Structure 1
Amino acid sequence: MQKISQSLFFLSLLLIISLHFASAQSYNSIFLSETQINAADSNNVFFNFNNTNFIKNNEYFNKIIEGYTYIGLFAQPKLTYFPSKNIKIEGGVHLLKYSGLDKFTQTKPIFTFQYQHKDFSLILGTIYGTLNHNLPEPVFSFEHYYTNNVENGMQILLNKTYLKSDTWINWEQFILPNDTLPERLTFGSSNLFYLSDTSNSLILTIPLQFLINHRGGQSSNINSNIQTLANTDIGLNVKYKIQSKAIKSIEFNNYYFSFFNNSNIIETYFDKGSATYSQLIINANKFIYSVGYWNAHNFMSVFGDPMFQLVSQKNILDTKPDKQLLTSNLFYSAPLCKGVNFGFRTELYYDLAAEKFDYSMGLNIVVNQKFFLKKIKTYQAAKY
C-alpha cells in the first residue's frame, strides 16, 4: 500500500508540472494517414512527400529489457493518381536512415491501390499500417512507426456511424518452394463500436481487436516448427466532453487482454495468459495526459511495447509470471507551419514489485506535403 501511495504522489506531482509547461493539442493524430479519398481529386496527379525525423530515448533499468535510443529519419516520396472519384493509385519508396549509419537501413518500394465505395474501402499493396490500426501499446508498440512503417498485403476499412473497423493481412515475409526462410504474416482486426452518438457529451465505445502472428509455411525448406501466436483485447471506454477553457474531455479506458499460443509445439515461455489495463486520460486544450494501471499474468505479445512484457530479453531466469505497472504519459504536439508538425512524448513506468522507475522521452518532426502536378484528361471511346 505504501508503494502505491508513493507512486500516486509522484504521478500527481508530474501532472502539476505538466499543467504548467505543456502547450499543444493532440499527439498521435500527426502520425496518422489520410485514409479517405476526396472526390474532388478525381483525375488529378499529386507529388506527396512524407518525412518523420525522430529521437526516442528509453532509459530502462529493469530486468526485462536494456535501455536503447532511436535517432534518425525516414522519408517517403510518392506519386499519387486518382483516375476516378473512388480510386487511388500511389507509388513511391520508403527510406529509413539511423543517425550514425552511412547507408539506409531500409529501402522499400511503396505501391497502393485503393477502391472506396461510400463507407467501405479496399486496399491492396502497401496498406495503412502501424499507428493507423489504433491498437493499444501492450499489443502494438508505438516504435513500430519508426522501425517497421511499411506494411504490405490487403486491408478492408469500414467507416460507419457506429462502427470504425480495420481488418488487414500484413505479409511480412513471402516464400517460394524450397526457400530457407520461414513464411511470416500477421492477420489483424481493430474494431471500435459506438454505443452513443459522437455528438453527445457522454460517449461510450467498445474496442474489440485481435492480432494473429504466423511463422512457418509448408513450402519452406527449413527444419523449424510452425508457430501461431495470438493476442485479443476487448474493453469499455467512457469519454465525457467538458469543453471548458482548460479541459476538453476526460476518458476512462478499460481493456482486458489475452494471449495464447496455438502452435502444435509450444516454443514460447508461456502458452497462454491475460492482462488488464485501465487508463484515465485528460484531454486538455494544450496537451493529453494519462495515468494507468497494468496487471498481467503469463502475458506475451509479439508486437507489444517491451515495458508491458513479462519475458526477459536480458536473462530468461528473470522472467516472472506476474507484473504490475503504474504508467504516466504526456503527449504534446503543435503545428510549425502547414503540413509540418512538432511532437513530444514522455512516458513513466513504475514496477510495483521491483519498486523501480523506468522512463522514455521522444521528439518528432513530421512533414506531410502535397503538391498538385497535373490534371489528366479522360476520353470516352467513340461509339459506332
Structure 2
Amino acid sequence: MNPHSIRIHNKSGQTVINISSTATQTPPLRMSKPVRIIVAALLLCMMNLPVHGQFNYERLHHYAEFDTLDADKLFFRIDNHNFFKNYEYFGDYTEGYTMLGHDLAPSFLYYAGNRVRLQVGAHLKKYSGEQDFSEIKPIISLHSRLTPHLDMIIGTLRGTVHHSILEPILDPEKLYASPLENGLQFIYNSRQWHADTWINWEQFIRHGDNKPEKFTFGLSSTYHLLRDSAHWQISIPVQLLAAHTGGQISNFDEPMQSLANVAIGFEFSRKPVASRIDEIKWTVSGLGYKDLTKKSGLPFTTGKAFYTTLQMTTRQLQLMVGYYGATNYVAPRGSALFQSVSDYNPIIYSKHRNLATGKMLFTHQLYRDIRLGVMAEGYYDLDAGQLEYAYGVNLMLMPSWFLLKKAIN
C-alpha cells in the first residue's frame, strides 16, 4: 500500500514537509502514575479558581486603533517588541526551541480628515545570535472608517493575535514569527455583533513563476445573544480559516491545495460586581477540518475537534484551563500541538488526540507606553502521558508623538 502524505507548513509558514499516514506511531513517552496525579491535581486546582474562549494575546501587541478625533493630524509612532520564549516540547508532534529577539516598527500616521488614515513605515526583526536583521519589510496601510460601525484596511492589516482565533486554528506564535499580514480586511463593530474578515496575501506570483500563490482567508465573528443582563453575557463565536496554495499562472508542479478550518461555539461570561476580577468566561467550541480540493494526500479529507476552556481575567492577570479532543484534525495555520500529524516526523499520525491545557499571562504597565508581559503555558497529552510547556517574557514600548496638524482653509 502506498503511503499517503500531506504538505504541512512549518512555523514560519515558508517550507513544507510530507507526512505519511500509513506508518505506525512511535511508542509514546509515558509519565509515571504519581506525576500524572500531580498534573491532574494542578489542573483541578486551577479550575477551582474563579477563571475569555480565546486567550487574549492582544496584551502582548498593540495596533494603533483608529481615532476620529485626530483628523488632519500627523504622528510618528514606534512599536518595539522585545521577546524571549522557550518551548520545552519533547513529544511527537513538534520540536522545542527558543526564540530571543526584537521587533522594531517606526512609522508615520496621517489622518486625512476623520475617516481615512495612512500609515507608512518599516518592520525590522532581529533574533539574538544573528549578525543581520532576519526581516526588513515595509508597512503601508490605508485604514478607512466607512461607517460608524465598519472599517476597511488595505495593505498592512490589524492581524495575528487581534483576530482572536482559537489556537488549534491559528497559532498565536505568529506574533513572533510572522507578525505582519498584508491584504484586505473589513472589521464590523456594533453592540450586538463583531466581525473581522480578511485575506492575508502571503506569496504573489507572476506568469511562469516556479513558486505557488499563497494566501489565507479568515473570518472571526461573535454575535451576542444576551448582554448586560445582570452582568451576564452569552455569545456565539464563529471562526473560519482557509489556507490556499496554488495559482493558475504558476509553473509550480505540485497540485493546488485548499485546506479549511471552522469553529462554532458558545461563550458564557460574567463580570462580577465589586470584585477585582474583570471577567469569568466559559467557552465550548466545535471545530472542523476539510480538504476542499481533496489533494492533501491523507486518507481522510475531513476531521473534527472539541475544545472547551475556562478563563479568569483581571486588570493584570489571565488564567485559562481547557480540554481538547480531536479526530483526524489538521490545521495548516494552527498550533502543531493540536494536530493529528507531526510537523517534523514523517511517520507520526494519530487519529485521536486528547490534551489538557493551561495558560497564564501577567502584564504590568511599567509606564504609559511601556508594558511588561510574563507567560507560562502547559499542554498535557492525555494519551501519551507527555507534558509540553513553554514560558516567556515580553517587553513592549509603544510611544507616539504628535508632529503637526494640517491647516484647514
Q: Quote the residue 1:8 is aligned against.
A: 40
2:383 to 353, 368, 376: 353
3-state SS of the aligned residue for 2:250? coil
1:98 paired with 2:127, answer yes
What is the one-letter code of the residue matched to 1:184? K
Q: Quote the residue 2:336 is aligned against.
A: 306
- Point out where structure 1 has 5 or more consecutive residues left out of the alignment: 20-25, 380-384
Backbone CA RMSD of aligned residues: 2.0
**TM-score normalised by structure 2 residue count:** 0.86
- Cα displacement (A) at 1:237: 0.5
3-state SS of the aligned residue for 2:379? strand
1:81 paired with 2:113, answer no
**TM-score normalised by structure 1 residue count:** 0.91
Output one character per residue of 1:137-169: Cα deviation in whole Å (capped at 9) or x when no partner.
Answer: 111111101111111111111011111111111
The residue correspondences of 1:237-276 to structure 2 (distance < 5 A) are 237-268=267-298, 270-276=300-306
Identity %: 31
1:339 to 369, 385, 399: 369
**More displaced, 88-97 or 4-13?**
4-13
- Cα displacement (A) at 1:366: 1.2
The residue correspondences of 1:179-194 to structure 2 (distance < 5 A) are 179-194=209-224
- Cα displacement (A) at 1:210: 0.3
Q: Quote the residue 1:125 is aligned against.
A: 155
Is the 8 Å Cα contact of residues 46 and 321 (structure 2) preserved in structure 1?
no
Q: Quote the residue 2:392 is aligned against.
A: 362
- Cα displacement (A) at 1:122: 1.0
3-state SS of the aligned residue for 1:196? strand
Distance 1:145 1:296, change over 3 A: same
Output one character per residue of 1:156-211: Cα deviation in whole Å (capped at 9) or x when no partner.
Answer: 11011111111111110111111111000111111011112247411011110101
1: CA distance between counterparts of 2:273 and 2:318? Answer: 14
Output one character per residue of 1:295-318: Cα deviation in whole Å (capped at 9) or x when no partner.
Answer: 011001111112112211232322
Is the 8 Å Cα contact of residues 363 and 373 (structure 2) preserved in structure 1?
yes
- Cα displacement (A) at 1:264: 4.7
Distance 1:297 1:119, change over 3 A: same
Is the 8 Å Cα contact of residues 236 and 264 (structure 2) preserved in structure 1?
yes
1:210 to 225, 240, 243: 240
- Cα displacement (A) at 1:231: 0.4
- Cα displacement (A) at 1:28: 3.0
- Cα displacement (A) at 1:253: 0.6
Is the 8 Å Cα contact of residues 269 and 282 (structure 2) preserved in structure 1?
yes
Q: Quote the residue 2:24 is aligned against.
A: none
What is the one-letter code of the residue matched to 2:368? K
3-state SS of the aligned residue for 2:333? coil
Distance 1:97 1:341, change over 3 A: same
Q: Quote the residue 1:108 is aligned against.
A: 137
2: CA distance between counterparts of 1:366 and 1:269? Answer: 45
2: CA distance between counterparts of 1:317 and 1:93? Answer: 41
The residue correspondences of 1:28-107 to structure 2 (distance < 5 A) are 28-35=58-65, 37-107=66-136
- Cα displacement (A) at 1:252: 0.7
Output one character per residue of 1:33-85: Cα deviation in whole Å (capped at 9) or x when no partner.
Answer: 243x2222111100010010001100011111111111101111000100101
The residue correspondences of 1:152-167 to structure 2 (distance < 5 A) are 152-167=182-197
1: CA distance between counterparts of 2:246 and 2:372? Answer: 41
Is the 8 Å Cα contact of residues 249 and 283 (structure 1) preserved in structure 2?
yes
Is the 8 Å Cα contact of residues 100 and 127 (structure 2) preserved in structure 1?
yes
Is the 8 Å Cα contact of residues 316 and 364 (structure 2) preserved in structure 1?
no
Is the 8 Å Cα contact of residues 27 and 332 (structure 1) preserved in structure 2?
no
What is the one-letter code of the residue matched to 1:310? S
What is the one-letter code of the residue matched to 2:99? Y
Is the 8 Å Cα contact of residues 245 and 285 (structure 1) preserved in structure 2?
no
2: CA distance between counterparts of 1:109 and 1:246? Answer: 42
**More displaced, 192-201 or 205-214?**
192-201
Number of residues of Structure 1 aligned to a counterpart in Structure 2: 370
Distance 1:15 1:51, change over 3 A: farther
3-state SS of the aligned residue for 2:41? helix
2: CA distance between counterparts of 1:209 and 1:157? Answer: 14
Is the 8 Å Cα contact of residues 321 and 359 (structure 2) preserved in structure 1?
yes
3-state SS of the aligned residue for 1:303? coil
1:197 paired with 2:213, answer no
Output one character per residue of 1:67-104: Cα deviation in whole Å (capped at 9) or x when no partner.
Answer: 11111011110001001011101100011111101111
- Point out where structure 2 has 5 or more consecutive residues left out of the alignment: 1-32, 51-55
What is the one-letter code of the residue matched to 2:78? F
